[in-house]
Each structure stands twice: as C-alpha cells, then as structure tokens.
C-alpha cells in the first residue's frame, strides 16, 4: 500500500437542481462548501436534454460566480460521437478543464456510438489534442469511475480492475470510486489495482447517509446490498438529530479508515446538502479550510 505524505484532496459532488426551491438551497450549499476550499467540485450529468442544459448552467455558475474548480461528469450512453465532441467543446468553452468520463446506465432502446467509458476518455483526449492551441497546450484532467464493490454488469472484481487499467491506458488521470460501506473494500480495490499496474490515484467516494430511504434507493441504483448495520441504526433512530449523527459518524469512520489506507483524497457525494458533510469535515483532523495552493504571494519562495 502506498502511503500519501500530503493531506488528502477534498472534493464534493453536486447535481443540477430540479426546481426553483432546490436551486436556492443549492446556492446556499455551494456557498457553504466554498468555505472549505475544496480542490474541485464535480457536477453530475443526466442524459435528457432539459437536465443537460441544467448541468451546463451549473458548470457556468461555478466557473463564473464562485471560486470553485468544477469537474464535469459526461456520459457516452445515448449519445453519438458528434454530440459528445460538441459537449466536450462546449464544456471546455465554459472554462472547465476537468471531466469525469463515464458510460452512464444504458436505457432501453438507447443508441450509443461509444459502448464503454474508455472510448469517451479517448474522445476527450482527441478533442484536447485538436484544441491544444486554445488550451495553451494545457492538459485536460480526466477522471473515471472505479468500483470497490463489483459493478453489477461485471463478471468479477478482477474484470473491474482490468477495465480500470484500460481506462488508465486510454488517458485517465485519476479515478473516483462508487459509494461503498465496508471500509476494507477500498483498500482491497487499491491493492489489487496496484498489483495489476494501475498507478493513477483512486479517490474514495464517501456519502454521509442520514435516511434509510436514501440508503435503500442508493444501494438499489448501484446494485449493492444494503449494509445491515447502518440500515438498522437508521431504522431505529428516534429523531432527525439522531439520524444526522448516525450518518455523520458512519462517514467519519469511513474517512478515517480510507485515510489510514493511504487515500489520496476524499470525494463527498453531498446530495446537494452541506450540513452532514461539514460536520464530518469538522471532526476530521485535516489541515483543511486553507488551500495549500492559496498562500499569500509574500510567503511564496522558490529557493
Ligand atoms: P465502464 O467503465 O464503461 O464499465 C461499464 C460496464 O461495462 C462494467 O461492467 C465493465 O466491466 C464493462 N466493460 C467496460 N469495458 C468493457 C469491455 N471492453 N468489454 C466488456 N465489458 C466492458 N452516471 C450518470 O449517468 N451520470 C453521472 O453523473 C454519474 N456519475 C458517477 C460518478 C461516480 C463517481 C461513479 C462511480 C458513477 C457515476 N455514474 C454516473 C454511474 C455510472 O455511469 C454507472 O456506474 C455505469 O453503469 C458505468 O459507468 P462506467 O463509467 O464505470 O462504465
């Protein structure tokens, strides 16, 4: 296991709001999260045209109205190559320089010219090469998904590792994991991935879950078994304060476990809410809330 010497990167996942009320609460969440100086904030992507527009609007807001660095999720399911090239160029045009390249979940009757995420990584790299002059020869950063618990369509965990390696070879710079609830699954994934030749950072995805319904929906969507200890605790909680504490404590323990295992970052699935995530961060012994890249100029010395 490779141990990190610097403190872990910090990032959050947001999704485009569905209504005016959720838009207002998202703006409050963004302001709260901005105060933690995250390294980046990722924005999820949904296939339908209306939601796509909202993804672009949220990315635009993050670039132009906040100090945050956005990472745009993009999926190849349901899209033609031409549409994906256009999407990549549109997102680069907003000033975004990071993508999370995903396949997405295949809907019935959907036509996808690119069957797997690896091809989307290659497409983004190709567009990047074609646009080098506009990007000042700068590199676009590409993340991909990794799975501590087997992806529902994969034959085995080993297949997931082989696919992760193929995404690295296609040009991925880092991976973010699917949510998981058994801590040892993260270190097992990292150890097997290293043995197979994966050397990009694998960042654990952490979600403070404060409701049994959300836990059940999440596990169903990700094709995972519901963790019985957390489900029992949430089911028998007698107040919203207790639900909150259970979710925060569980996520806090996970963060400590993955940091002990050398995690290079912590990526929080926020569900567009900040309270539980901020409570976890407050209790972690991290030199956070001051970005190591944002020192006063007077303190910067090269020699
Ligand atoms: P892939 O890496 O293409 O893998 C998909 C399946 O195909 C796997 O079972 C893999 O083993 C198999 N496979 C891959 N290549 C091959 C091959 N050459 N031959 C045979 N089998 C192969 N979904 C969204 O719609 N929007 C989002 O914003 C979003 N954000 C996410 C963020 C994170 C951090 C994660 C972990 C997932 C996210 N997802 C999102 C869900 C993701 O789209 C699904 O998990 C999807 O089912 C798989 O995506 P992938 O990129 O891992 O696909």
For the segment 93-125, what is each residue's pLDDT rounded down to a tens digit? 999 999 999 999 888 777 789 999 999 999 999
Mean pLDDT score, 215-242: 95
Query: What tens digit of pLDDT does each residue of 50-101 get?
Result: 888 999 999 999 999 999 999 999 999 999 999 999 999 999 999 999 999 9
* pLDDT attached to residue 189: 98
Q: What are phi and psi of 117, to 5 degrees?
A: -60, -30
* pLDDT attached to residue 129: 95
- Whether 6 shows a pLDDT value over 80: the answer reads no
User: How confident is the prediction for the chain on average, in pLDDT?
Assistant: 92
Quick one: which of 299, 19, 42 has its CA closest to 177? 42
**Ligand 1 centre distance from Cα of residue 104 (Å):** 6
Q: Return the ∠ at Cα 78 (arms to 272 and 52), rounded to 5°.
A: 35
Mutating to test ligand 1, I would choose from 116, 158, 218, 222 the residue with most ligand atoms within 8 A of its C-beta, which is 116
DSSP H or E segment with residue 98:
strand 98-102
Catalytic residue numbers, as ranges:
13
Model pTM score: 0.94
Query: What tens digit of pLDDT does each residue of 188-203 get?
Result: 999 999 999 999 999 9
**Ligand 1 site, residue 51, Cβ cutoff 6 A:** no
Query: What tens digit of pLDDT does each residue of 246-278 get?
Result: 999 999 999 999 999 999 999 999 999 999 999
Per-residue pLDDT band at 299 (split at 50, 70, 90): low
Q: Rounded distance, CA 256 to CA 159, Å?
A: 28
Mean pLDDT score, 22-31: 96
Per-residue pLDDT band at 292 (split at 50, 70, 90): very low
Which of residues 47 and 132 earns the better pLDDT score?
Answer: 132
* pLDDT attached to residue 168: 98
Across-strand partners of 206? 268
**Ligand 1 centre distance from Cα of residue 145 (Å):** 6
Per-residue pLDDT band at 4 (split at 50, 70, 90): very low
- Whether 298 shows a pLDDT value over 80: the answer reads no
**Ligand 1 site, residue 44, Cβ cutoff 6 A:** yes
**Ligand 1 site, residue 79, Cβ cutoff 6 A:** no
- Whether 146 shows a pLDDT value over 70: the answer reads yes
Quick one: which of 42, 131, 124, 139 has its CA closest to 76? 124
Q: Rounded distance, CA 41 to CA 100, Å?
A: 11
pLDDT above 90 coverage of the chain, percent = 82
**Ligand 1 site, residue 154, Cβ cutoff 6 A:** yes
- Closest ligand 1 atom to the C-alpha of 102? 51
**Ligand 1 centre distance from Cα of residue 79 (Å):** 15
Q: In sequence order, which residues have a C-beta less than 8 Å from that of residue 251 and are 6 or more positions away? A: 206, 207, 208, 209, 268, 276, 280
**Ligand 1 centre distance from Cα of residue 103 (Å):** 5
**Ligand 1 site, residue 66, Cβ cutoff 6 A:** no
**Ligand 1 centre distance from Cα of residue 84 (Å):** 16
Which of residues 28 and 290 earns the better pLDDT score?
Answer: 28
Structure tokens at 124: 């983004």
* pLDDT attached to residue 40: 97
**Ligand 1 site, residue 77, Cβ cutoff 6 A:** no
* Topology (CATH level 3) of domain 9-285: TIM Barrel (3.20.20)
């Amino acid at each position: 296991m490779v141990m990190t010497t610097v403190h872990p990167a910090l990032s959050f996942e947001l999704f485009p709001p569905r209504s005016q009320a959720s838009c207002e609460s998202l703006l409050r969440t963004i302001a709260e999260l901005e105060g933690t100086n995250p390294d980046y904030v990722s924005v999820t992507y949904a296939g339908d045209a209306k939601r796509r527009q909202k993804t672009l609007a949220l990315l635009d807001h993050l670039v132009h109205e906040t100090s945050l660095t956005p990472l745009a999720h993009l999926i190849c399911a349901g899209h033609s190559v031409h549409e994906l090239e256009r999407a990549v160029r549109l997102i680069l045009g907003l000033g975004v320089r990071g993508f999370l390249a995903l396949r997405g979940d295949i809907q019935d009757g959907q036509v996808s010219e690119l069957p797997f995420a690896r091809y989307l990584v290659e497409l983004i790299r190709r567009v990047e090469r074609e646009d080098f002059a506009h990007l000042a020869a700068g590199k676009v950063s590409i993340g991909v998904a990794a799975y501590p618990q087997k992806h529902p369509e994969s034959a085995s965990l080993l297949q997931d590792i082989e696919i992760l390696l193929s995404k690295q070879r296609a040009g991925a710079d880092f991976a973010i994991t699917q949510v998981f609830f058994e801590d040892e699954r993260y270190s097992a994934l990292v150890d097997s991935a290293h043995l197979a030749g994966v050397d990009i950072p694998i960042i654990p995805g952490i979600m403070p879950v404060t409701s049994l319904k959300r836990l059940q929906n999440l596990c169903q969507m990700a094709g995972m078994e519901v963790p019985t200890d957390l489900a029992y605790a949430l089911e028998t909680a007698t107040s919203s304060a207790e639900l909150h504490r259970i979710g925060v404590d569980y996520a806090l323990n996970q963060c400590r476990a993955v940091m002990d295992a050398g995690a290079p970052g912590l990526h929080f699935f926020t569900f567009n809410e900040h309270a539980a995530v901020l409570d976890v961060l407050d209790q972690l012994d991290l030199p956070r809330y001051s970005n190591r890249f944002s020192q006063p100029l007077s303190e910067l010395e090269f020699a």
